[in-house]
Chains A and B, each alone.
Chain A
């Protein structure tokens, strides 16, 4: 049976189990004349859980482990000459061939040895499917039967169900931890493999980034240049441009909206500005490449400036537009959190509204605003699509916003999109860049969240 059919079958089975047991518990109460410990529904839930969980667990196990086991089985059938000393990327290609032959979608000449492996693969797939079907149905049925034997008026069905519910809830809350651990492990392990090929010092302090060379020369890592400094500089440059655009506009908008605007104006302008935050980044990327970059280049040509069509300015400007609502809504929150009594104090001294805002409200809200700006910076650094579409690919070591620069995220995408060979330093470098990106944004986030939290406590 297909896994999806099996999944639906198990769900169906447990639904039936629920309904049947609920009904049975009710009749039990009537016939025995005794009071049940829990509501009849809980007996139903209890049975349904026992019916569904074992089968579903098996299914999950299969889903995660089946793929690698099947390929291993198929590869074992290949003559050793195929595998000895073959690069991992070759093996990956081989596996792909085997799979497509097994599915009958392969076009072209088939090596008989590979055909054999493919046959083995289909055979194993067949067996695996049968095994899964038998096992999961058996597991579900035995779970069901076990639960059925325990149904009696004294059985504390509710407590058992609630324990399961709590365990499930805790498990869900732990996904956050697992995700973080997963991110750290996956990025770290691949990065360590990368640092085995390219010394970490070359990576961190190198001034030259040209991963393509390593490919062509086919000398793992030894001739490609993997210096991350130009990428960091490019990222910094574009993010700075973005913040220079977003911070004043966002902050001033927030001030105007919260302090000056009439309620009607605010009700219209605020959601409009926030639309900017809901636009997908790929749209901004296209906008940058289609409208802003050519516009800037032509403007530059008018006044005799040479502006690259992949300039940091264009990407940064558009990124800044994207971040405006982010800055403005955070600032708005913090400005509103400043107590009215401080404003009253300034007004009572004869301060004008702008003096009150600039000299009392903003300084009071400053920690929060700084935290918000740090979060915005972290977002700018991690932003991908805009720079992939509008920034350049060549790693120039420059601080000139009119020139083309590349960023960490752009390079991750460039290195990983397209055909990958999983052990080349070129691919692994993407993970090392990911590690840098993760650490950088993590530090910014923790710092920012800490500042913001502290600030919130101050006025609450």
Chain B
């Protein structure tokens, strides 16, 4: 092969190849997914996903819109249960315990696996009540001062404390977009989860707010396992240790972030990260 030839020709896996490329397993995984399929009614939205999520790392799910990455993310805390007609099959387990069966109680599961959404969705309550809501319903605070402590800790950890400490009784909907999103992160942290799922958390935010959230994600990695869906490849490259590339419901390639972005194995991954489609 000569240097003039198109680099994609060098990729060992061509566009038609549809089973996952790269190391989808990880040592001492927190979440293990095997043969996961999701159907919306007749539509087969996510097909045969096998992937591990390691502890204390950020894994980014990337891919063009409609590729199934958000749908897959919502399998991890059973949010797909709220969608009528949605059916999830396959094995998903967390710390060795299956979480996908009908017998699993989603309430404690969701307390363990928190989620931050695309659009900030603070409750129409005060800032304090927004953060206190989770601990309250789960009974995590035995007295009011405990609760205040949890709220303060969570807000501090979400990097919002200094901005809102003087106006905790004001409505959460009055904050700016970026602050609202950090409030939602604080709300999630307050329940003391093990995994945090983030569904394009910065897509509704401006660049400055985005930078703050990204920095926050990096800090939170020490305490939590984070799965983040993102549209932006730069963001994936900046915040994640591992990256998984989805395309038309298939998991195409998984690997160390650096490797996926510098030396993708699959032709589709290469085309996507170089901006040829997406």
A residues near B, CB below 8 A?
339, 341-352, 355, 359-360, 363-364
Contacts and interface: CB of A to CB of B under 8 A. Distances in A.
Contacts of B184: 345
Given A350-B110, A350-B138, A351-B137, A345 B117 contact: yes
A350 B117 CA distance: 15
B137 A350 contact: yes
B121 A341 contact: yes
A339 B77 CA distance: 20
Nearest to A263: B84
A156 B124 CA distance: 59
Given A347-B110, A348-B77, A341 B123 contact: no
Given A343-B82, A359-B133, A349 B121 contact: no
A347 B82 contact: yes
Nearest to B83: A340
A364 B123 contact: yes
A350 B188 CA distance: 10
Interface in B91-147: 106-111, 114-115, 117, 119, 121-125, 133-134, 137-138
A349 B111 CA distance: 6
Q: Which 10 A-B pairs have the closest CB atoms?
A: A348-B115, A350-B110, A350-B111, A341-B121, A349-B134, A345-B121, A364-B124, A350-B107, A355-B137, A351-B137
A350 B110 CA distance: 5
Nearest to B112: A350
Nearest to B187: A349
A350 B82 contact: no
Nearest to A360: B123
B121 A344 contact: yes
| A-side interface mostly | helix
19 contacts: A339-B121, A341-B121, A342-B121, A342-B123, A342-B124, A343-B82, A345-B117, A345-B121, A345-B123, A346-B133, A347-B79, A348-B79, A348-B114, A349-B191, A350-B106, A350-B107, A350-B111, A351-B134, A352-B107
A248 B79 CA distance: 30
A339 B121 CA distance: 9
Interface in B55-81: 77, 79
Contacts of B122: 345
Contacts of B191: 349-350
Given A351-B137, A363-B124, A344 B82 contact: yes
Given A345-B187, A348-B114, A349-B133, 11 more contacts: A341-B119, A344-B117, A347-B82, A348-B110, A348-B115, A348-B117, A350-B106, A350-B191, A351-B107, A360-B123, A363-B124
Contacts of A363: 123-125
Contacts of B79: 344, 347-348
A143 B107 CA distance: 80
A345 B123 CA distance: 8
A364 B82 CA distance: 19
Given A349-B111, A349-B191, A341 B124 contact: no
Interface in B5-54: none
Interface in B168-193: 184, 187-188, 191
A381 to B, nearest CB: 30
A360 B129 CA distance: 11
Contacts of A346: 123, 133
Nearest to B77: A348
A2 to B, nearest CB: 64
Contacts of B107: 350-352
Contacts of B115: 344, 348
A345 B115 CA distance: 8
A37 to B, nearest CB: 55
A349 B135 CA distance: 9
Contacts of B138: 350
Nearest to B84: A263
A210 B124 CA distance: 51
Nearest to A262: B84
Given A341-B121, A359-B137, A349 B114 contact: yes
A355 to B, nearest CB: 5
Nearest to A345: B121
With a 10 A CB-CB cut-off, give which of A342, A350, A360 has the most chain B CB atoms.
A350
Contacts of A344: 79, 82, 115, 117, 121
Nearest to A349: B134
A406 B231 CA distance: 68
A341 B122 CA distance: 9
A343 B133 CA distance: 13
A342 B121 CA distance: 6
A352 B184 CA distance: 18
Nearest to B191: A349
A17 to B, nearest CB: 61
A89 B111 CA distance: 79
A341 B134 CA distance: 16
A363 B123 CA distance: 9
Contacts of B133: 346, 349, 351, 359
A409 to B, nearest CB: 38
Contacts of B134: 349-351
Nearest to A348: B115
Contacts of A341: 117, 119, 121
Nearest to A339: B121
B105 to A, nearest CB: 10
Contacts of B119: 341
Contacts of A349: 110-111, 114, 133-134, 137, 187-188, 191
Nearest to A338: B124
A365 to B, nearest CB: 10
Nearest to A364: B124
Contacts of A359: 133, 137
Contacts of A343: 82
A264 to B, nearest CB: 13
